[in-house]
Chain A
Amino acid sequence: MDELRLYTYIAVFGSFALYFAIAWWARAGSTDEFYAAGGHVGPVQNGMAIGADWMSAASFISMAGLIAFLGYGGSVFLMGWTGGYVLLAMLLAPYMRKHGKFTVPEFISDRYYSKTARVVAVICLIIASLTYIIGQMKGVGVAFSRFLEVDYGLGLAIGMVVVWVYAVMGGMKGITYTQIAQYCVLIFAYTVPAIFISLQLTGNPIPQLGLGSTLADGSGVYLLDKLDMIVTDLGFREYTTDNMGGSLNMFAYTLSLMIGTAGLPHVIMRFFTVPSVKAARASAGYALVFIALLYTVAPAVGAMARLNFTQTVEPASGQQLEYEQRPQWFKDWEATGLLEFEDKNQDGKIQYSADQKNNEMVNVDRDIMVLANPAIANLPNWVIALVAAGGLAAALSTAAGLLLAISSSVSHDLMKGVLTPNLTEKQELLAGRIVMTVSIIISGYLGLNPPGFAAGTVALAFGLAASSIFPALMMGIFIKKMSGTAAVSGMIAGIGVTMLYVFQHKGIMFIPGTEFLGSLPENWFFGISPNAFGAVGALVNFTVAVIVCKFTGPAPKEIQELVENFRIPKGAGAAHHH
Chain B
Amino acid sequence: MKKAGYWQENIRLILICLVIWFIVSFGFGILLVEPLNEIRLGGYKLGFWFAQQGSIYTFVALIFWYTYKMNQLDKKYDLEDEQED
Contacts and interface: CB of A to CB of B under 8 A. Distances in A.
Interface of A: 42, 67, 72, 74-75, 78-79, 82-83, 85-86, 89-91, 94, 208-209, 211-214, 222-225, 240-241, 243, 247, 250-251, 254-255, 275-278, 281-282, 284-285, 288-289, 292, 295-296, 299, 564, 567-574
Interface in B28-45: 29-31, 33-34, 37, 41-45
A568 B3 contact: yes
Contacts of B30: 75, 247, 250-251, 254
A67 B14 CA distance: 31
A207 B8 CA distance: 42
A83 B59 contact: yes
Given A78-B56, A90-B17, A211 B31 contact: no
B37 A240 contact: yes
Given A75-B52, A569-B79, A90 B42 contact: no
Interface residues of B, number: 46
A79 B51 contact: yes
A276 B53 CA distance: 31
B29 to A, nearest CB: 6
Interface of B: 3, 6-7, 10, 14, 17-18, 21, 25-26, 29-31, 33-34, 37, 41-45, 48-49, 51-53, 55-57, 59-60, 62-64, 66-67, 70-71, 74, 79-85
Of listed B25, B43, B82, residue having the most chain A CB within 10 A: B43
A567 B81 contact: no
Contact of A564 (B3, B48, B67): B3
Contacts of A255: 26
Contacts, number: 149
A75 B30 CA distance: 9
Nearest to A221: B43
B56 A276 contact: no
Nearest to A228: B45
A363 B51 CA distance: 29
A407 B60 CA distance: 32
Given A251-B30, A281-B66, A212 B60 contact: no
Contact of A251 (B26, B34, B62, B74): B26
Contact of A89 (B43, B63, B74): B63
22 contacts: A72-B33, A78-B56, A79-B29, A79-B51, A86-B18, A89-B66, A89-B67, A94-B70, A212-B42, A214-B43, A222-B43, A240-B45, A247-B30, A251-B31, A278-B67, A278-B70, A296-B57, A299-B52, A299-B53, A567-B10, A568-B6, A570-B80
Of listed B6, B30, B64, residue having the most chain A CB within 10 A: B30
A241 B49 CA distance: 11
Nearest to B26: A251
A35 B44 CA distance: 45
Nearest to A574: B83
Nearest to B11: A478
B38 to A, nearest CB: 12
A299 B50 CA distance: 12
Given A86-B18, A251-B26, A281-B66, 14 more contacts: A75-B51, A79-B29, A79-B51, A86-B17, A89-B66, A212-B49, A214-B43, A241-B34, A254-B30, A276-B85, A285-B63, A569-B79, A569-B81, A570-B81
A243 B47 CA distance: 12
B67 A282 contact: yes
Given A89-B66, A90-B14, A292 B43 contact: no
Given A212-B49, A299-B53, A571 B41 contact: no
Which 7 pairs across A and B sit closest by C-beta, in order of nearness? A222-B43, A75-B51, A285-B63, A212-B42, A299-B52, A212-B43, A212-B44
B9 to A, nearest CB: 12
A83 B63 contact: no
Contacts of A241: 33-34, 37, 45, 48
Contacts of A243: 33
A79 B62 contact: no
A54 to B, nearest CB: 14
Of listed B3, B25, B33, residue having the most chain A CB within 10 A: B25
Contacts of A208: 53
Given A86-B21, A296-B53, A569-B81, A281 B67 contact: yes
Nearest to B7: A567
A288 B34 CA distance: 28
A214 to B, nearest CB: 7
B7 to A, nearest CB: 6
A570 B77 CA distance: 10
B56 A79 contact: yes
Contacts of A247: 30-31, 33
A212 to B, nearest CB: 4
Of listed A75, A209, A213, A295, residue having the most chain B CB within 10 A: A75
Contact of B43 (A42, A223, A250): A223
A492 to B, nearest CB: 27
B60 A570 contact: no
A78 B67 contact: no
